[in-house]
């Protein structure tokens, strides 16, 4: 399945409240996956790894919260799919 996200997809910035970064899933989309990477590049690219829901992040009513005590990475990438 191939689709293209609209350029106007409203992705809000992360909020850092109490040490736990969080962001909202844009309306009309579902969270597909969350990836993390260290700040050091590997072979001129980020070394992405899958983060695990319930361990590294939680999802509740469209809000994704990174669990800072279990967060092994410093760079976050979120993937969205149309609902």
- pLDDT, tens digit, for every residue of 45-81? 888 889 999 998 999 999 998 887 666 667 888 888 8
Extended strands (E) in the chain: 15-17, 20-24, 29-37, 49-50, 57-60, 63-66, 75-82
> What pLDDT, on the 0 to 100 scale, is given for residue 67?
85
How many Cβ atoms sit within 10 Å of the Cβ of residue 16? 11
3-state secondary structure of 78: strand
Q: Model's pTM, two decimal places?
A: 0.73
């Amino acid at each position: 399945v191939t689709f293209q996200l609209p350029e106007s997809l409203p992705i809000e910035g992360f909020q850092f409240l109490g040490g736990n970064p969080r962001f909202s899933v844009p309306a009309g989309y579902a969270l597909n996956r969350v990836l993390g990477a260290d700040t050091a590049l590997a072979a001129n690219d980020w070394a992405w790894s899958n983060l695990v829901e319930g361990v590294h992040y939680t999802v509740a009513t469209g809000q994704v919260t990174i669990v800072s005590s279990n967060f092994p990475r410093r760079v976050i990438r979120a993937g969205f799919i149309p609902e």
